[in-house]
């Protein structure tokens, strides 16, 4: 029997446990979770860790495709699921497969360190602390599945003069409700999903909102109290000096500027190199090439997360259980280099775009499913809906979640209702969407 440790019991960790359970005659599963419940980032106001959830948050993945690959739809009335509904779905999924028996709650992993056995096989020393009684214990494992997500360490850009700022700064991970911003002037920095979601969520509370971002696709009308501004050049006391020379003042600067990959528990001997926002030297975006028994579930972004996590977990479990043969380091390195070349270098993109994959997630899921010999169904609908959301939200962010769709087949859908504002936006597509090649 192989001993396998799963670090984290959010969606990534549950996907890993689900797939490993297919081989429970070959593996023993131990999962560590710092909180007292499953759900990870979907737990709002978790007393044991910080989460980017806030009151009233809705997903940006359509309800019919936002679940795990073997349980794809979430049965709710709304087109886009509220965080509390999503958390309930995740909890129900864990109960369906009786996952709690494998999870040690209120345990924080302190260190993961590789070592070689007498026959040169790599194993792992994993040290965890029981946060309830303080007891620290080290155990040995044959494989490590890292499922701590990528929303733990907020990224705040280095702004000249930030330390002189007399107002308040905060990251979007700490946003909870509009009431705190009532009557204030707010500068929101960052124009991706979190920045736009928070802007429209708080829109009626602040007296004034300045919106600074680099997203050229945003054509959406903004609330009447909101104004586009350029980047911050520097800060001097009360003054926020913009790149165009304009000077503004704000009570709060809210940075919706994303997160940094963060693996504090991995020792120096196995911690991956994160370069310009991407985790380097990993096969299929999930297997450490230098340490092939170390797996990462959930590094990618701008994807239908739970669906993709399922196939990453399937591949990890297939390797760990020896259902499929190992891949040589040379082959893994060639795959990493080829994918990086095709999806980053050849397209003139940034290194961090290696993990940002709205247009390649279907190809990726199909590759993982084939390699792992998975019996989970593969569909192009998650990718189609992500691209549809990007199109509609860029045109009008306030109303895109009111759209209603009907699934026609594994690879097609039709639009049943969309807000009238979209009838005057751009060229209308055919209502029936076909598979993406």
SS3 for 62-129 is: EHHHCCECCECCCCCCCCEEEHHHHHHHHHHHHHHCCHHHHEEECEEEEEEEEEECCCCCEEEEEEEE
The verdict on 243 and 264 lying in the same domain is no
Band of pLDDT at residue 218, cut at 50, 70 and 90: confident
Q: Please tell me the predicted confidence (pLDDT) of residue 301.
A: 94
Q: Which residues of 316-337 are buried (b: 16+ CB within 10 A; e: fewer)?
A: bbbbbbeeeeebeeeebeebbe
Residue 67 lies in a domain: yes
Q: So what's the pLDDT on residue 424?
A: 67
| Res. 224: pLDDT tops 60 | yes
245 and 147, same domain (yes or no): no
322 closest CA partner among 142, 153, 132, 186: 142
CB of 407 closer than 8 Å to CB of 413? yes
Looking at residue 183, its pLDDT comes to 98
What does the block give as tokens for 131?
């946060």
Is a pLDDT exceeding 50 seen at residue 405?
Answer: yes
- At 434 the pLDDT is 29
* % of residues, the chain, pLDDT over 90: 94
Residue 216, pLDDT score? 83
Q: Does residue 431 belong to any structural domain of this protein?
A: no
H or E, element range at 302:
none
Q: Are strands 278-279 and 274-275 parallel, antiparallel or unpaired?
A: antiparallel
What is the share, in percent, of the chain residues with pLDDT greater than 70? 97
- Interval 75-126: pLDDT, tens: 999 999 999 999 999 999 999 999 999 999 999 999 999 999 989 899 999 9
- In this predicted structure, what is the pLDDT of residue 426? 52
Write out the residue range of the structural domain in which residue 400 sits: 393-424
**Residues 38, 68: one domain?**
yes
- Which residue among 231, 255, 279 closes a domain? 255
- pLDDT number for residue 106: 98
Which has the higher per-residue pLDDT, 437 or 286?
286
Q: What is the pTM of this model?
A: 0.94
Q: Answer yes or no: is pLDDT of 359 > 50.
A: yes
Q: Are 239 and 269 in the same domain?
A: no
Longest dimension (CA), the chain: 70
Q: Which residue has the tokens 């040690």?
A: 104
Positive or negative torsion for Cα 43, 46, 51, 55: positive
> Domain with 189 in it: what CATH number?
3.50.50.60
pLDDT, mean over the chain: 94
Count of structural domains, the chain: 3
pLDDT for the residue numbered 217: 79
Which one is predicted more confidently, 425 or 260?
260
Q: Do 170 and 288 belong to one domain?
A: no
Q: Give kind and range of the element (H or E) at residue 235.
A: strand 232-236
Could you tell me which of 137, 173, 160, 203 has the C-alpha nearest to residue 46? 173
Regarding whether 32 and 9 lie in a shared domain, the answer is yes
> DSSP letters along 365-417, please?
HHHHHHHHT--S---SHHHHHHHHHHHHHHH-TTTGGG-EEEEEETTEEEEEE
d(CA 112, CA 148): 13
Q: At what angle do helices 83-96 and 11-20 cross, to 10 degrees?
A: 20
Average pLDDT over every residue of 283-291 = 98
């Amino acid at each position: 029997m192989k001993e396998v440790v799963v670090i984290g019991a959010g969606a990534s960790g549950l996907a890993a446990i689900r797939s490993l359970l297919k081989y429970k005659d070959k593996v023993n599963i131990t999962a560590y979770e710092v909180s007292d419940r499953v759900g990870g980032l979907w737990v709002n106001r978790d007393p044991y860790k910080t989460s980017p959830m806030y009151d009233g948050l809705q997903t940006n993945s359509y309800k019919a495709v936002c679940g795990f690959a073997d349980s794809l739809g979430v049965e709710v009335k709304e087109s886009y699921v509220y965080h509390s509904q999503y958390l309930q779905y995740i909890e129900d999924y864990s109960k369906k497969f009786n996952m709690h028996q494998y999870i040690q709650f209120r345990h924080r992993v302190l260190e993961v360190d590789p070592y070689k056995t007498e026959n040169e096989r790599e194993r792992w020393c994993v040290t965890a602390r029981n946060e309830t009684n303080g007891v620290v214990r080290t155990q040995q494992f044959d494989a490590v599945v890292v499922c701590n997500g990528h929303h733990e360490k907020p990224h705040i850009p280095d702004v000249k003069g930030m330390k002189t700022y007399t107002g308040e700064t905060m990251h979007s991970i700490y946003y909870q409700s509009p009431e705190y911003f009532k009557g204030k002037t707010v500068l929101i920095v960052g124009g991706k999903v979190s920045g736009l979601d928070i802007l429209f969520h708080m829109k009626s509370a602040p007296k004034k909102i300045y919106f600074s971002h680099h997203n050229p696709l945003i054509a959406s009308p903004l609330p009447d109290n909101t104004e586009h501004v350029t980047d911050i050049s520097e800060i001097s006391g009360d003054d926020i000096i913009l790149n165009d020379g304009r000077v503004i003042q704000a009570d709060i600067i809210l940075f919706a500027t994303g997160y940094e990959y963060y693996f504090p528990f991995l020792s120096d001997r196995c911690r991956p190199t994160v370069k310009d926002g991407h985790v380097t030297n990993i096969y299929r975006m999930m297997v450490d090439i230098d340490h092939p028994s170390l797996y990462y579930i959930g590094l990618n972004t701008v994807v239908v997360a739970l669906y993709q996590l399922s196939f990453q977990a399937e591949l990890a479990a297939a390797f760990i259980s020896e259902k499929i043969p190992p891949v040589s380091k040379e082959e893994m390195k060639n795959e990493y280099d080829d994918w990086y070349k095709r999806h980053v270098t050849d397209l003139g993109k940034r290194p961090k775009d290696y993990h940002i994959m709205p247009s390649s997630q279907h190809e990726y899921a199909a590759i993982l499913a084939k390699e792992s010999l998975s019996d989970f169904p593969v569909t192009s609908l998650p990718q189609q809906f992500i691209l549809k959301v990007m199109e509609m939200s860029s045109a009008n962010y306030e109303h895109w979640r009111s759209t209603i769709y009907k699934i026609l087949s594994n690879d097609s859908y039709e639009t049943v209702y969309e807000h009238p504002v979209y009838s005057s936006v751009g060229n209308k597509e055919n209502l029936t969407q076909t598979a993406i090649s």
